[in-house]
Structure 1
Amino acid sequence: MKVTPLGLLCEPGGFYVDPSRPVERAVVSHGHADHARPGHGAVLATPETLAIMRARFGEDRAGDEQQAMAYGESVTCNGVRITLAPAGHVLGSAQVVLEWQGSRIVVSGDYKRRRDPTCAPFLPVECDVFVTEATFALPVFRHPPDSHEIRRLLDSVALFPERAHVVGAYALGKTQRIIALLREAGWDRPVYLHGAVEKLCTLYESLGVRLGELLPVPKGLKRGHPPILAGEIVLAPPSAEATPWARRLADPVTCAASGWMTVRQRAKLRGVELPLIISDHADWDELLETIEEVRAPEVWVTHGRDDALVHALGLRGVRGRALHLVGRGDEEDEGAPEAPPTEEEADAARRGAPS
């Protein structure tokens, strides 16, 4: 594998993994915008990822040639054997397993280790080189159980029945996961959706993920109409909470579902009243556990807090290498990316988060 301005290039195979700009041949790990780009010549991905790309980019921009490959299936390209394994990040997300001349590299894409009712769980694959993300690679990031955070949300709804609860979450993956977790926790009432998240919820359902009754937030209300959706749960992109759209709702409780909500300063600056620590990435302990499970003597880190993770790997006798790939970590929030923490925020997390 070679690091290039376009991303990771498999030189003998003649293809890129998650390239940052259009290329002739690409293997795409999942549908988030910092990994899946429009305009490639040929794209290999899971059927779900290809469906997500078509929904987001249009049929003619998701790859001139689209090759769907299920988990566990393999194809050989110029002597390089390609297999896709579940990554547990979002629906269809995959690790890219590459084998050539007796060696194996696994490119994880983004991944999480928590159970997620909307996608297949992460599958550790032993390898010679493991290419990992490091989004939450600081010891302060130890995410609580998802059920605990969902219970906090439901308790707040019960405590403030006169208010709407608006949960800011990524349109792809996080929104659908929160809905599924709410259903498991016993919420059988409708979940209301901002228009920007409806399309992907519909796609998830068409791909077999059951989300229960979903309704759009009512539009076209006349001036002076009483606030709506008191006691209800609304899912929206994080950026929507600060727009006039939210004013129609009954005294909304601003919530945000993100691993970054560990950083209390970030929650405060964003005006988040109820921060929910629900992440679609592995936390610090899960990163280290994963690296131990795959038994790779060499680990490459694509983005995030690579310095802390590389240091921790060195203490464990594992060779670490920071790749500094361009464009990684900028997952979309309908045009408002949620960036990694600044140094000031990271310092605040170190001081204020539980260890």
Structure 2
Amino acid sequence: MSTLLADFLVRKPEGYYCRYGDFFIDASNPVMHNVVSHAHGDHASSGHDYVYATHATSLFMAYRYKQNRKDSYQVKLFNSPFKIGAVEITFLPAGHILGSAQILMEYRGVRYLYTGDYKLQADDTCEPIEVQQADVLITESTFANPDISHPDPAEEIKKLDGHASNILLGTYVLGKAQRITDLINRYCPDRKVLVHSGILPYHRLYDQHGLKKLDYEPYNRREMKQGEQNKVYLVPPMTFNSYFRATKVLRAFASGWKRLQAQNDIELYISDHVDWNDILQYIKMVNPKEVWTLHGDGSILKRYFNEKLIVRDVLSA
């Protein structure tokens, strides 16, 4: 019988480390071998000798970290196993953003599945999540709380049509902004999407390498002020916060966090993470012997399963 290794993946200052293959996952500081789940800044960083990532993730990283050597990227296809040391690794779609991957690791007959950030909700702008069973599920726990339930994104985005005004909409530049654009295109077709210069390069990368074309225009001050009051201006978080004196617009921020909805004119609960019920559903689908948690508080999940399933944080080295 294969032995499940409690220290297969551990938390170190540089990131999550697998000593059995001598590689890191989503390292925040420079390392020799870094396997990257997706291109958000809290998972992807610069300065590594070798970066293992999907094609889209490598493109986003190459744009953001221009100082990286081009030959550092080891681009891997979904569902195409490769080895680092003695560990076989396979990227599986995570459904979070374009190119986002779960990292399935197999060692001595045991399967360890690191989710990265993931979601079960439909999203036409990225690859849908793929489920495979594993002995250990290593899951993010950003919203691992039964009080949190993400509503239907289509119904949320339709809130924008209930107001005869231009809208200033705060959104994260990669993944969320493109999903929001697609949702507006589909469910609020009379709304015109204007995109801040900080978001525009990622929209263009999605257009060139993504799954569908988005309908939007670069932000133009005159366009925003003239004509119909049907514009939705997508801006990064810092820009959104700096526009607190903006007039003749309604404010909204697309997020699953309640605190980011405070003092806005429109609440817009759209998240690219799993909520409590999604996590429970995913555990059932993966059917692991153990669940290891990271990127959040897994204590409620541990209490929920009690003695029925081992749930714990990833160990520190």
Counterparts of 1:24 and 1:176, CA distance in 2 = 32
Post-superposition offset of 1:140: 1.3
2:69 pairs with 1:69: no
Q: Is the 8 A contact 2:168 2:234 kept in 1?
A: yes
Counterparts of 1:267 and 1:226, CA distance in 2 = 23
- Name 2:3's counterpart in structure 1: none
- Name 1:301's counterpart in structure 2: 293
- Name 2:94's counterpart in structure 1: 87
Counterparts in 2 of 1:207 and 1:266: CA distance versus 1, 3 Å? closer
**1:101-122 Cα deviation digits (max 9, x unpaired):** 1101011000000000101111
Counterparts in 2 of 1:16 and 1:242: CA distance versus 1, 3 Å? closer
- Name 1:105's counterpart in structure 2: 112
- Name 2:51's counterpart in structure 1: 43
Counterparts in 2 of 1:32 and 1:212: CA distance versus 1, 3 Å? closer
Q: Is the 8 A contact 2:253 2:260 kept in 1?
A: no
TM value normalised by structure 2: 0.91
2:305 pairs with 1:313: yes
- Name 2:248's counterpart in structure 1: 251
Letter of the structure 2 residue corresponding to residue 255 of structure 1:
A
- Name 1:123's counterpart in structure 2: 130
- Name 2:36's counterpart in structure 1: 28
TM value normalised by structure 1: 0.81
Counterparts of 1:45 and 1:10, CA distance in 2 = 17
Counterparts in 2 of 1:279 and 1:168: CA distance versus 1, 3 Å? same
Post-superposition offset of 1:209: 3.7
Letter of the structure 1 residue corresponding to residue 266 of structure 2:
L
Letter of the structure 2 residue corresponding to residue 195 of structure 1:
S
Identity %: 34
- Name 2:14's counterpart in structure 1: 6
Structure 1, 168-177 or 238-247: larger mean CA deviation:
238-247
Counterparts of 1:146 and 1:285, CA distance in 2 = 16
- Name 1:152's counterpart in structure 2: 159
Is the helix fraction higher in 1 or 2? 1
Structure 1, 169-178 or 231-240: larger mean CA deviation:
231-240
Q: Is the 8 A contact 1:105 1:130 kept in 2?
A: yes
- Name 1:332's counterpart in structure 2: none
* Counterpart selection for 1:55 from 63, 66, 71: 63
Structure 1 stretches (4+) deviating beyond 6 angstroms?
none
Counterparts in 2 of 1:90 and 1:135: CA distance versus 1, 3 Å? same
Number of equivalences: 308
**1:102-160 Cα deviation digits (max 9, x unpaired):** 1010110000000001011111221111100011111111111111101111222xxx2
**1:68-113 Cα deviation digits (max 9, x unpaired):** 1111001122221110001000000000000011101011000000
Counterparts in 2 of 1:35 and 1:78: CA distance versus 1, 3 Å? same
SS of residue in 2 equivalent to 1:142: coil
2:173 pairs with 1:171: yes
Post-superposition offset of 1:57: 1.0
Letter of the structure 2 residue corresponding to residue 55 of structure 1:
Y
Counterparts of 1:266 and 1:205, CA distance in 2 = 29
Post-superposition offset of 1:186: 5.0
SS of residue in 2 equivalent to 1:184: helix
Matches within 5 A, 1:273-288: 273-288=265-280
Post-superposition offset of 1:188: 5.7
SS of residue in 1 equivalent to 2:99: coil
Post-superposition offset of 1:66: 1.1
Letter of the structure 1 residue corresponding to residue 23 of structure 2:
F
Taking only aligned residues, the RMSD between alpha carbons, in angstroms, comes to 2.2
Unpaired runs of at least 5, structure 1: 326-355
Q: Is the 8 A contact 2:197 2:218 kept in 1?
A: yes
Post-superposition offset of 1:228: 4.7
Counterparts of 2:245 and 2:94, CA distance in 1 = 34
Q: Is the 8 A contact 1:40 1:63 kept in 2?
A: no
Post-superposition offset of 1:211: 3.8
Post-superposition offset of 1:313: 2.8
Q: Is the 8 A contact 1:50 1:66 kept in 2?
A: yes
Unpaired runs of at least 5, structure 2: 1-7
Counterparts of 1:245 and 1:275, CA distance in 2 = 16
